[in-house]
Amino acid sequence: MNFRVTRSGRAFSPWEADPISSPSFDIATAVIHAVEAAVDDDLVEPNASDVDFDSRQENPSLSGTDASNTSIHASNVAPASSSSASPTPRGAHDKAGSKRRHAAARQAGKVREHLALLPPARRPQHIKNAGPPVETRFNLMKERVASTGWIGLRDDGQSMQEESAGFEEPGWTPTHTLPDILGQKLDPLPTQREESLACLADILTTPTARPITDATGRVFGLSGGHPDDPTWMAEVHDAAVEALEAACARCKVSEARTYHRHGNFAPLTAGDSYGGGQMEPGALVNGVINAAVLCSLMSNLAFICLAGFATGEYLTSKGLFVNWSPRLFDYYASRMRCFYKWYTHLQRPFLNSIWSACTFNLGPRTCCIGHRDFGNLAFGWCSITALGDYDYTKGGHLILWDCGLVLEFPPGTTIIIPSTAVFHSNIPISVGEQRYSFTQYTSGGIFRWIEHGFQSEEAYFASLSPEERVKEREEARARWEGGASLFCTLDELKSGSI
């Protein structure tokens, strides 16, 4: 066979090889096996006297592609040679071995939960230890969504509140500083802005979370702060900023793509979505270079920690979504479980996060102009994490225009809001400062695709009878109200009855 030769003298074949498939091989099963083995090696010493092990019993095999039906037996460890074991009392061996087996089972269970989209353990004590709620007169039930109830109303990047207050942004970057905002009337603030801002001044300066409630008492937003971890800023925040700075230098984003409806900065987006003319849900497309940069960011331990904290678990510490909106989290988990079981070739950006997509806003001066993320789930939550080096008392604040709130947003902290329903923007940072952000979300189109039997809206309605179409339209009108009811009141959360 004649091979082509490059200038360097390397030979390569012009022919394309046929793909080799293995029907009996399942990657999910292989991953669980590998993790199980790693957990065993790390947490269980291979000593026969430590472990209740029957050498005649074979290890149970893992079968099927649904990770929720698998079993991980972390205690089945092959015994080592008895001659290498040091003489230790049987009771001490039993106690130490039991601790290691339990630790291995806990770690294996966490892996299984992440792979199968099982809800992390909820911790009501984090609700009780949170700061006082931020009460607003914002009415979540007021319609701010499309007629289908799945996505929001498209806007052109300008809200009626902003326009009426004389704050409309003339360009691609925020121009109104904090004194500008405080010197104007920002309806519907329940109190004077100075008093309100002073009340919220510590909202994110400590790890204590503070819920944001609407006029009916529902917790529709959350200033989550960050975990009560003394190493968080040095080992998580600083590492994330370093990774984003490296990504800025390596990625390829055209100048035209840095001007968009959110502002003037370079975004990199990864994950799965449906909308914007897609025939069916699929992974967001990036070029070869940007795909490699995104792979590096999503495998970075700092962003894995940020993603897990926003969803519900940061190591053994508190988490946000699952604790503060458990009904909405369960809604996400049940639909995402069906979605990824159907589309086995797709994968969430972070296995320890519930959202199907994420965006790394590379800045270096990421401050958004006013907008609603109308493509996300209408009643869904969006996680926003601020990163960088800037004076958060002077800039970078998050403005929730519909709620009349101005929230300080220090680096390393996370805020969760219904970004489709609430018009929001940032106050610009000072010259010479850097600000980045990391967001997580799921498009409303994915939920609609699932509810319509994994088919488009056109195909779904074509399959319905006239009576069924009328019923579907009635359900669409009630969908927003049903979605808003998934948010819990503070009393429900504190009681732990959910």
**DSSP secondary-structure letter at 218?**
B
**Confidence category of residue 158, pLDDT binned at 50, 70, 90:** low
The whole-angstrom separation of Cα 196 and Cα 135 is 10
Q: Verify cis geometry, omega within 30 degrees of 0, for the bond prior to 364.
A: yes
Give whichever of 142-146, 156-160, 375-379 has the largest mean pLDDT: 375-379
Picking from 211, 191, 132, 136, the residue whose alpha carbon sits closest to that of residue 401 is 136
Domain 124-133+144-454+479-491 sits in CATH 3.60.130.30: yes
User: Whose structure tokens read 């130490």?
Assistant: 96
CB 43 within 8 A of CB 107: yes
pLDDT tens column, 60-110: 332 333 333 333 233 333 333 333 344 445 555 566 666 656 655 555 555
Output the DSSP codes for 63-114: -SS-GGG----TT--PPPPGGGS----HHHHHHHHHHHHHHHHHHHHHHHHH
Tell me the domain boundaries of the chain.
86-116, 124-133+144-454+479-491
The pLDDT value given to residue 184: 61
Picking from 327, 271, 272, 286, the residue whose alpha carbon sits closest to that of residue 449 is 272
pLDDT tens column, 10-61: 766 555 555 566 666 666 556 556 655 554 443 333 333 333 333 333 333 3
pLDDT tens column, 264-276: 899 999 999 998 7
The pLDDT value given to residue 178: 79
Q: Rounded to 10 degrees, what is the CA torsion of 108, 114, 116, 122?
A: 90
Structure-block tokens of residue 136: 């607003």
Mean pLDDT of 121-133: 74
CB 496 within 8 A of CB 124: yes
The whole-angstrom separation of Cα 261 and Cα 156 is 7
CB 267 within 8 A of CB 362: yes
pLDDT at 313 over 80: no
Residue % of the chain over a pLDDT of 70: 65
Picking from 421, 449, 294, 418, the residue whose alpha carbon sits closest to that of residue 359 is 294
pLDDT at 189 over 80: no
The pLDDT value given to residue 209: 83
The larger pLDDT score, comparing residue 205 to residue 364, is at: 364
Structure-block tokens of residue 278: 């897609």
**Confidence category of residue 119, pLDDT binned at 50, 70, 90:** low
Mean pLDDT of 146-165: 73
Mean pLDDT of 378-386: 96
Mean pLDDT of 308-330: 80
Q: How far is CA 133 from CA 110, 127, 200, 214, 379, in A?
A: 31, 11, 10, 10, 20
The pLDDT value given to residue 69: 33
The pLDDT value given to residue 235: 92
pTM of the prediction? 0.74
The whole-angstrom separation of Cα 334 and Cα 320 is 18
pLDDT tens column, 406-434: 888 999 999 999 999 998 999 999 999 99
